[in-house]
Structure 1
């Protein structure tokens, strides 16, 4: 689970919003497993938020303040999902093509 430079982009950011990376060749290490769990939580949260957004859009009574709050939450969730996609894209790029499910 490493990127082209041997580092895994972690699903959280460091001080100042800077990306955090993990250097390990052990996908079963504590930090690798922690990152996997956090990614799963983030993806689950994004899925639930997407459902909430769909309901809010269908509801004529949703207030402007509620929509602003929802957009703020969606922005954070999208940021998390893009970080995960970037990390996993790097993981796929470094894996053995013969192991690909395509």
Structure 2
């Protein structure tokens, strides 16, 4: 209750649908095989599922990237270990050389 009229909230009516990716993939394979064999379908011509193929390719490349990241992390870790060993060596055995620098 104010001076101005408040807008009503918008309602969103979403009716969920059941989606079975395995059944969709099976139908896609059947269409592709029928198209390759030249068998007639029920008036439908084969249309490749571009979206699904792009999603599969993206997932495959993402897994490859994650595997490559492990090698990068290992390399950085090994470089840090070598640097720390070098600093430890200089600090313990070449302390007189370090003192001359300062």
TM-score with structure 1 setting the length: 0.35
Which structure has the bigger radius of gyration? 2
Q: Which has the higher contact order (CA 8 A, sep 6+)?
A: 1
Q: Which structure shows the higher strand fraction?
A: 1
